[in-house]
Structure 1
Amino acid sequence: MGASSSTDNKESSEKREIESLAASTGALPLLQRSFSKLADSQTNTVSFESFKKSFSLSYNTITSEGEDQKVPDSFPKLLEHLGSSLVDLFFIPEKEGLSWVEFAKGYVKCCRRMSASMSFNTLLRVYYVTAKNAGFSPKLEFESDETDCKINGSISSIELLMFLWMCWTMSWDGRTTKAAETKSCLFLPDISHLILSAVVYCSESGNSFDVWDSDVYGLEVELPIGKFLTWALTTVPSLTECLSQLCNSRLQNVTSVEDGSGPSKSTAVDDSASKNCENTLLTCGRAWAISLTCKSSINEEILRSCFPCNGDETSENLLYRSYHHGKGMNRLWSNVEGYHAPILVIVSASCEVEHEGTSSERKWVIGAMLQQGFENRDTFYGSSGTLFSISPVFHAFSSSGKEKNFTYSHLHPSGRVYDAHPKPVGIGFGGTLGNERIFMDEDFSKITIRHHAVDKSYQPGPLFPNQGYLPVEALVLDIEAWGLGGNAAREVQETYQKREELFTNQRRKIDLKTFTNWEDSPEKMMMDMMGNPNAPRKEER
Structure 2
Amino acid sequence: MGGSSSTAQVPAEQQEMERLAASTGALPMLQKAFSALADPQTKAIPLNYLQQCFSIAFQNPSREVPLMPGCFPVLLDHLGPSIVDIFFMAEKGGVSWIEFLRGYIKCCGRTAASISLNNLFRAFAATAVRAGLPAKLQFELDDSDCKIGGSLMPADVLMVLWICWVMSWDSRNLKSSKGKADYGLPDISHLVLSAVVSCADVSSDLNVWDCDISGLEMQLPAGKIHMWALRTVPNLADCFVQFVHTRLQHSPILKDKLEPSCSPVSDIRSTMMCNTHLLTCGRAWAISLTLRSTMSEEILKACFPTNGDGPDENLLYWSSLHGKGLNRFWSNVEGYNGPMLILIAASSGDTFDVNANARRWIVGALTQQGFENKDVFYGSSGSLYATSPVFHVFSASGKEKNFVYSHLHPAGKVYEPHPKPVGIAFGGSIGNERLFIDEDFARVTIRHHAVDKTYQPGSLFPGQGFLPLEALLLEVEVWGLGGRMAKEVQTKYKKREQLFTEQRRRVDLKTFGNWDDSPEKMMKDMISDPNAVRREDR
Query: What is the TM-score when the length of structure 2 is the normalising length?
Result: 0.91
Tell me the alpha carbon deviations over residues 73-100 of structure 1, each in whole angstroms, 9 at most, x when there is no partner. 1111111000110011111122222222
Give aligned pairs, total.
523
Contact 2:367 2:381 in 1 (8 A): yes
Residue in 2 aligned with 1:125? 122
Report the more deviating stretch, 89-98 or 121-130: 89-98
User: Aligned-pair distance for 1:536?
Assistant: 3.3
- SS of match in other structure, 1:478: strand
Query: After the TM superposition, which residues 8-407 of structure 1 pair with which residues of structure 2 at under 5 Å, given as runs?
Result: 9=8, 11-67=10-66, 70-177=67-174, 184-205=181-202, 209-256=206-253, 269-309=266-306, 313-352=310-349, 362-407=359-404
CA distance in 2, matches of 1:280, 1:211: 21
Contact 1:351 1:361 in 2 (8 A): no
Contact 2:182 2:265 in 1 (8 A): no
Query: CA 1:23 to 1:207, structure 2 compared with 1: closer, same or farther past 3 Å?
Result: farther
Tell me the alpha carbon deviations over residues 376-433 of structure 1, each in whole angstroms, 9 at most, x when there is no partner. 1111110000000000000000000000000011111112222222111110000001
**AA paired with 2:495?**
K
User: Aligned-pair distance for 1:66?
Assistant: 2.7
Contact 2:179 2:264 in 1 (8 A): no
Query: CA 1:10 to 1:259, structure 2 compared with 1: closer, same or farther past 3 Å?
Result: same
CA distance in 2, matches of 1:359, 1:466: 16
Contact 1:200 1:209 in 2 (8 A): no
Query: CA 1:62 to 1:218, structure 2 compared with 1: closer, same or farther past 3 Å?
Result: farther
Q: From 519, 532, 538, give the equivalent of 1:536.
A: 532
CA distance in 2, matches of 1:207, 1:533: 87
Contact 1:57 1:179 in 2 (8 A): no
- SS of match in other structure, 1:352: coil
Tell me the alpha carbon deviations over residues 426-474 of structure 1, each in whole angstroms, 9 at most, x when there is no partner. 1000000111000001110110000000000000000000010111011
Say if 2:510 is the partner of 1:505: no
CA distance in 2, matches of 1:350, 1:102: 56
CA distance in 2, matches of 1:306, 1:359: 27
Structure 2: gaps of 5 or more residues: 1-6
Say if 2:447 is the partner of 1:450: yes
**AA paired with 2:27?**
L
**AA paired with 2:58?**
Y
Calculate percent identity across the aligned residue pairs. 55
Contact 1:158 1:217 in 2 (8 A): yes
CA distance in 2, matches of 1:12, 1:117: 31
Residue in 2 aligned with 1:3? none
Residue in 2 aligned with 1:425? 422
CA distance in 2, matches of 1:314, 1:181: 16
CA distance in 1, matches of 2:29, 2:52: 19
Contact 1:179 1:265 in 2 (8 A): no
Residue in 1 aligned with 2:4? none
Tell me the alpha carbon deviations over residues 165-184 of structure 1, each in whole angstroms, 9 at most, x when there is no partner. 11111112112229999874
Report the more deviating stretch, 264-273 or 469-478: 264-273
Contact 1:430 1:436 in 2 (8 A): yes
Query: CA 1:493 to 1:265, structure 2 compared with 1: closer, same or farther past 3 Å?
Result: farther
Query: CA 1:510 to 1:174, structure 2 compared with 1: closer, same or farther past 3 Å?
Result: same
CA distance in 1, matches of 2:380, 2:499: 32
Query: CA 1:148 to 1:503, structure 2 compared with 1: closer, same or farther past 3 Å?
Result: same
CA distance in 2, matches of 1:10, 1:531: 113
CA distance in 2, matches of 1:115, 1:312: 35
Structure 1: gaps of 5 or more residues: 1-7
**AA paired with 2:47?**
F
CA distance in 2, matches of 1:183, 1:50: 21
User: Aligned-pair distance for 1:523?
Assistant: 4.5
Query: CA 1:190 to 1:81, structure 2 compared with 1: closer, same or farther past 3 Å?
Result: same
- SS of match in other structure, 2:406: strand
CA distance in 1, matches of 2:33, 2:269: 31
Query: What is the TM-score when the length of structure 1 is the normalising length?
Result: 0.90
CA distance in 1, matches of 2:163, 2:454: 35
Tell me the alpha carbon deviations over residues 171-199 of structure 1, each in whole angstroms, 9 at most, x when there is no partner. 12112229999874221110110111111
User: Aligned-pair distance for 1:359?
Assistant: 11
Report the more deviating stretch, 96-105 or 377-386: 96-105
